[in-house]
Amino acid sequence: MGTGKRGLIATAVAVVCAVTVLAAPGTAFANPTPSPTPSAGQTLAPAKDLEAVRKKLDKLYRAAARATDEYNAADEKADKQSTQVVELAKKIVKGQEKLRKLKDRAGAAAAAQYRGGGLPPEAHLVLSDDPQDFLDGAGRVREGHHATKGLLGELTRTQEDLEQYAKDASAQLKKLEAGRKAKAAAQKKIEKQIAQAEKLESALQKEEQDRLAELEKEAANKAQTAWLDSGILNEINGKASAQGKKAVKYATAQIGKPYQWGAEGPRTYDCSGLTSQAWISAGRGIPRTSQEQWKQLRHIDVQDMRPGDLIIYFGDASHVAMYIGDGAIVHAPRPGRTVTIAGAGSMPILGVVRPDPGTGAN
C-alpha cells in the first residue's frame, strides 16, 4: 500500500483495525469466526435455511433502499416547491401593494378631471380670454391623457401579473400536495419492508442471528475476493483531488454512526445522505439520492476511479458508497447497521461517478 493511500484512509483504519477488505489483490479474506455451538436442547435452522433467510433479508432491505430513494426524492422536490410557493406569495403581496398604489393614482387622476369639469378643449378655448392659456392647457391635457393611458396600461399589466402568480402558486401547491402524498407512500413502503425484515430476524434464536451475520460477511467477502482476484486494483491508481480528500475525511469521520433512512446527519445517515453531506462539506453540492447521483454526475471507468468518487451499486442504483482507496469504501449499509468500511467489490457495482472536476492531488 502506498504512503499516499495510507494517508487517505488513516482515519478509517484508526477506527476499524485490520479490516479484511483492505487485503491485497488475490488475497482471500480472513476466515470467519467459527459458528457458535448451539445451547443444549436447541435445534438450529439448517445452513441452507439461514442462507434463504439471508437472501430474503437482502431483498427486503434493498426494497427499503429503493423506497428510501423515492422518499428522499419526494422530500427534495417538496422543499423546492415550498420555496417556489413562498417566492410566488411574496410576488403576490408586492403586486397587490403596487395595484393599490396604482388605483390610488387612477382615483386621483379621475378626481382632478372631475374638478376641471370634464370639459373638452374646444369649450376651454371658448371660455378662455387668452389663446396662449388654451394652448398651454391643451398641452397639459394631452400629457394627462398619455399619463392616464399609461397608468391604465400599468394597472392592467399588474392585474394580469397577479392572476398569473395566483395560477402558478395554485399549480405549485397541487404539485406540493402530490409530492407529500408520494413521500407518505414511500415512507409506508420503507416501514413495511423494514418491519418485515425485523420480524424475520427476531424469529431467529441468538445463535442463528450470529450465524446469519457470519453468512452476510461471507457473502460480502466472497464477492470482494472475486473482485480483487480480477486484478482490478492494479489498474486503480487515481489520486484524490483536494475536494476529494475533504469528502473522504468527512465520510470516514462518521464511522460508527447509525444508519437511518432519510437521514443526512449529523448523528445518523442513509447511504446517499452520507455521500451528499460529505461532498457538501468539501464545498460541492451534489444530488441527494443515489439514483440522481448516478443520473447527473459524470461517469468514470472503474479503473480510473480515485478516492472521493462515488460507487453506485445494483442495477437500480439503490445504493451508493464513497471510494476511499486501496479497494475500500465507506458507506451507510442498511437499517440496523452503522457507517463502516467495506470492500468496494462486496456488492454488484453498477458504475462510478465523480462529483468534482478537479485534477488529482500530487
Contact, 281 vs 356, CB < 8 A? no
Instruction: Tell me the average pLDDT of the chain.
Output: 77
Of 184, 194, 188, 186, nearest to 289 by C-alpha is 186
Q: Would you say residue 13 has pLDDT above 50?
A: no
Residue 220 and residue 157: Cα distance in Å, rounded? 65
Residue 327 and residue 27: Cα distance in Å, rounded? 12
User: Which DSSP helix (H) or strand (E) runs through 136?
Assistant: helix 131-202
Q: Would you say residue 119 has pLDDT above 60?
A: no
Mean local confidence (pLDDT), 176-189: 82
> Residue written as cell 401579473?
161
Q: Which domains does the chain have, with CATH numbers?
A: 1-25+231-362 (3.90.1720.10), 46-230 (1.10.287.2610)
The question of whether 299 is a catalytic residue gets the answer no
The question of whether 124 is a catalytic residue gets the answer no
Dump pLDDT digits (tens) for 299-319: 999 999 999 999 999 999 999
Residue 168 and residue 306: Cα distance in Å, rounded? 44
Dump pLDDT digits (tens) for 31-86: 333 444 444 445 555 666 788 888 888 888 888 888 888 888 888 877 777 787 78
DSSP-assigned beta bridge partners for residue 225? none
**Picking from 101-105, 243-247, 248-252, which range would have the lowest pLDDT averaged per residue?**
101-105
Contacts (Cβ under 8 Å, ≥6 apart) of 56? 200
Kindly report the backbone phi and psi dihedral angles of residue 289, in degrees, each rounded to the nearest multiple of 5, phi listed first.
Answer: -105, 155
